[in-house]
């Protein structure tokens, strides 16, 4: 009896787990996607210096007549970002005609704090002053960047307003509300404790952002504590300086070179990835042959091609086979609405690649992701000709004979008598490099189809090997293994 009950509850656990994991995944990855959107709008590295001047009120608790009653003090406030890691808030208070000064300087992971009435600043933990640090929403972005793996989505239901949760490096917990329509953080909450009033949420509200040259700052900030509104800030003046040194320099990851094969045909060399791909130029578009490595590499290839051929967007992406060094970057072409030319056995795999998000990589969200994916299939063991306006290409399925992948496409360019064999054959620079089944399949295909081929281009490797060889070169590489050829 006991045994069967236990089994029953175990089964229940197992069946609930996938749905619960999906919920976890959604709250995690969606949070990061929302944050990357925010980060694109509020770039904390873009401005090296800013100074915000504001007036405001502080509500002073005292031994007054009724509970909850407070007195209003007048404030003059400056919020200043000085150097890379230094941020200061200074408060000049006028309370019943007397002047008081308070200031806090955050530098790296510590802060120097001077309370009203004190004359010297003391070094304190940032932990106790977290919300003052977040008077600048730029610091909010920075803190999330530093603690990105603590980020999660609290409420995913509302399309336009998202509640994100995160921790800082000092053990504080925060929740922030992001308005996706306005691309603004509108509120920040932090669980806090008051020895008299108990548990509460300390909060900041950001309202009425003003933007100038990409520098955005809320004009009204309201800071609340356990007793209610604690401080209001009304911005009167904003100064900022662009700082080129701090600009996030996106390092180009691929060194790209392009060789011209003919008026219509080009060879793209990915130097630091030891990899190649081909490009054909048609009346008003380009086609690429293979999409090596990954989405980031191929996004860069697309930018490179856009620079070289601004009037010729990439419209077709032909993939020889599914291996990552030849198709790992297919997602970059799919997201621009390219048609993918492949074989039936790869469709499900490329569909999955199209659905994939890349938030963990920290890449900006592609907000213009095309509908799709769009496929043109080449049937197994068949050739399919694409007219390509003025420059035709024939995709030939030869998988079964390659000994490499079940399905495989060779690409033939009849006008240039060029064949792109991608991964099946090698042409070593210093002599004969003996080869087997893969190279044999290319040789047999050319012979069998009586294809006029002058040059056979390869996709890999780039270094120590020639870009292309001839049918005679393949034959020479096969001699050792197939002496009867």
| Residues found near Zn ion in the complex (CB under 5 A) | 323, 423
For Zn ion, the closer of residues 336 and 458 by Cβ is 458
For Zn ion, the closer of residues 452 and 461 by Cβ is 461
Are the beta carbons of 380 and 407 closer than 8 angstroms? yes
For Zn ion, the closer of residues 268 and 409 by Cβ is 409
For Zn ion, the closer of residues 224 and 458 by Cβ is 458
CB of 327 vs Zn ion, minimal distance in Å = 9
CB of 326 vs Zn ion, minimal distance in Å = 6
Nearest to 406 by CA among 321, 319, 318: 321
Are the beta carbons of 377 and 345 closer than 8 angstroms? no
CB of 423 vs Zn ion, minimal distance in Å = 4
Nearest to 331 by CA among 322, 278, 410, 310: 322
Distance between CA atoms of residues 442 and 399, nearest Å = 11
Relative orientation angle of helices 137-146 and 2-41, to the nearest 10 degrees = 130
Are the beta carbons of 246 and 45 closer than 8 angstroms? yes
CB of 406 vs Zn ion, minimal distance in Å = 12
Residue 45: burial class (beta carbons within 10 Å; 0-12, 13-18, 19+): middle
CB of 5 vs Zn ion, minimal distance in Å = 52
For Zn ion, the closer of residues 397 and 423 by Cβ is 423
CB of 398 vs Zn ion, minimal distance in Å = 13
Are the beta carbons of 395 and 341 closer than 8 angstroms? yes
Residue 93: burial class (beta carbons within 10 Å; 0-12, 13-18, 19+): buried
CB of 350 vs Zn ion, minimal distance in Å = 16
For Zn ion, the closer of residues 235 and 424 by Cβ is 424
Residue nearest to Zn ion (CB): 323
DSSP 291-333: --S-HHHHHHHHHHHHHH-TT--EEEEE-S-S-HHHHTTHHHH
For residue 371, give the 3-state DSSP assignment.
coil
CB of 379 vs Zn ion, minimal distance in Å = 21
Nearest to 438 by CA among 350, 323, 284, 332: 323
Nearest to 109 by CA among 87, 140, 78, 135: 87
For Zn ion, the closer of residues 129 and 323 by Cβ is 323
CB of 346 vs Zn ion, minimal distance in Å = 13
For Zn ion, the closer of residues 176 and 320 by Cβ is 320
Distance between CA atoms of residues 273 and 457, nearest Å = 17
CB of 193 vs Zn ion, minimal distance in Å = 60
For Zn ion, the closer of residues 324 and 452 by Cβ is 324
For Zn ion, the closer of residues 362 and 461 by Cβ is 461
State how far Cα 321 lies from the chain centre. 26
Nearest to 84 by CA among 57, 50, 128: 50
Nearest to 105 by CA among 79, 87, 78, 121: 87
């Amino acid at each position: 009896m006991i045994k069967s009950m236990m089994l029953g509850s175990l089964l229940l656990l197992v069946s609930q787990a996938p749905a619960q994991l999906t919920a976890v995944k959604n709250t995690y990855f969606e949070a990061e996607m929302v944050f990357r959107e925010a980060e694109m709008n509020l770039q904390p590295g873009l401005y090296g210096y800013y100074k915000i001047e504001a007036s405001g009120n502080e509500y002073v608790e005292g031994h007054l007549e009724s509970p909850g009653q407070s007195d209003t003090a007048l404030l003059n406030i400056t919020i200043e970002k000085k150097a890379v890691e230094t941020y200061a808030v200074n408060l000049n208070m006028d309370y019943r005609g007397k002047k008081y000064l308070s200031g806090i300087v955050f530098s790296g992971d510590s802060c120097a704090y001077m309370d009203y009435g004190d004359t010297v600043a003391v070094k304190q933990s940032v932990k106790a002053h977290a919300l003052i640090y977040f008077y600048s929403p730029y610091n909010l972005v920075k803190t999330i960047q530093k603690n990105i793996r603590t980020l999660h989505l609290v409420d995913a239901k509302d399309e336009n307003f998202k509640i994100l949760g995160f921790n800082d490096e000092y053990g504080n917990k925060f929740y922030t509300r992001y308005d996706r329509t306005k691309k603004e953080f509108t509120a920040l909450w932090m669980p806090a404790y008051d020895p008299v009033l108990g548990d509460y949420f300390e909060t900041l509200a950001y309202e009425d952002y003003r933007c100038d040259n990409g520098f955005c700052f809320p004009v009204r900030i309201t800071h609340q504590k356990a007793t209610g509104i604690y401080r209001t800030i009304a911005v009167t003046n904003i100064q900022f300086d662009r700082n080129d040194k701090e600009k996030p320099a996106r390092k180009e990851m691929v060194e790209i070179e392009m060789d011209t094969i003919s008026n219509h045909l080009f060879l793209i060399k990915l130097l630091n990835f030891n990899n190649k791909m081909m490009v054909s130029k048609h009346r008003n578009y380009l086609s690429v042959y293979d999409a090596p490595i990954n989405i980031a590499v191929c996004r860069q290839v697309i930018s490179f091609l856009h620079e070289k051929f601004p009037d010729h967007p990439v419209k077709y992406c032909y993939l020889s086979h599914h291996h990552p060094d030849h198709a790992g970057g297919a997602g970059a072409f799919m997201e621009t609405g390219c048609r993918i030319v492949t074989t039936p056995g790869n469709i499900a795999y490329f569909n999955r690649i199209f659905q994939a998000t890349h938030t963990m990589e920290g890449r900006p969200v592609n907000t213009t992701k095309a509908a799709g994916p769009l496929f043109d299939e080449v049937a197994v063991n068949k050739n399919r000709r694409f007219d390509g306006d003025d420059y035709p290409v024939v995709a030939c399925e030869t998988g079964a004979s390659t000994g490499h992948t079940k399905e495989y496409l060779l690409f033939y360019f009849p006008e240039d008598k060029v064949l792109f064999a991608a991964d099946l054959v090698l042409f070593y620079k210093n002599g004969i490099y003996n080869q087997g089944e893969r190279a044999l399949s290319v040789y047999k295909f050319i012979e069998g189809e009586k294809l006029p081929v002058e040059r056979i281009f390869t996709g890999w490797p780039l270094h120590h090997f020639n870009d292309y060889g001839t049918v005679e070169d393949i034959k020479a590489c096969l001699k050792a293994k197939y002496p009867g050829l």
